[in-house]
Structure 1
């Protein structure tokens, strides 16, 4: 593991423990282990990142706000959703931009809360295209492996 991947894994492990204030080190460690993979430090395979993104079941961009996005743009947007949910403080925006299509967006997650044994967060995603914005709101809950599943 290179130094960058170790640093990201360590930071995510810590944030996984403190994001909800519940001290769940098992979930924090799982999220930390996945961190390098979602950021592209998994040796280039991208298989785990693809699995995490698949667990998000399309996220908010799987709906109307993602209409017209190609697969690459959708993945960039979903990765931003994951970063916002997994390790960004409440109210702090996570931005993304496609160099190819010119699409860009912002994801903002709210304060985490507990539902049963799962940590959940409400979040919003705004996509900007051709001077127009589209916004969607939703809720996602964290799975034991560190992935997030949107509630329907």
Structure 2
């Protein structure tokens, strides 16, 4: 059993009802059980498994789960508070469809800097970084909506 397959199997088994997990593990070879059991225990100790995220991991899809993008006025304020490099990362990771809207609203030199950074970013964007950036945008956007405009 390869390590990636073992981790995926352990994640799937960790989410099962204990009786179902015991039934499946009881039908596996002992060497597989000895690999899976510690991974299952670790998954249960350190994670609150999200069903949507689990399905993405098991399907070999990126771990990023789509989040709501703030309205354009809030998004612009949030992005303006970031350096051009980080504004580009936020756009690439969480709001790629809004990049042109933001760039059109920017001062010419800032738009050029952000566009330059966008061109330098890897494709595809690293999934773990995309998820972290999307969480930042989601949290900041909610704060901005609560305050009427980004704080």
Answer whether TM exceeds 0.5 for this pair: no
Superposition TM-score, scaled by structure 1 size: 0.22
TM norm structure 2? 0.22
Which is helix-richer, 1 or 2? Answer: 2
- Greater C-alpha Rg: 2
More strand by share: 1
Higher relative contact order, chain-length normalized (CA < 8 Å, sep 6+): 2
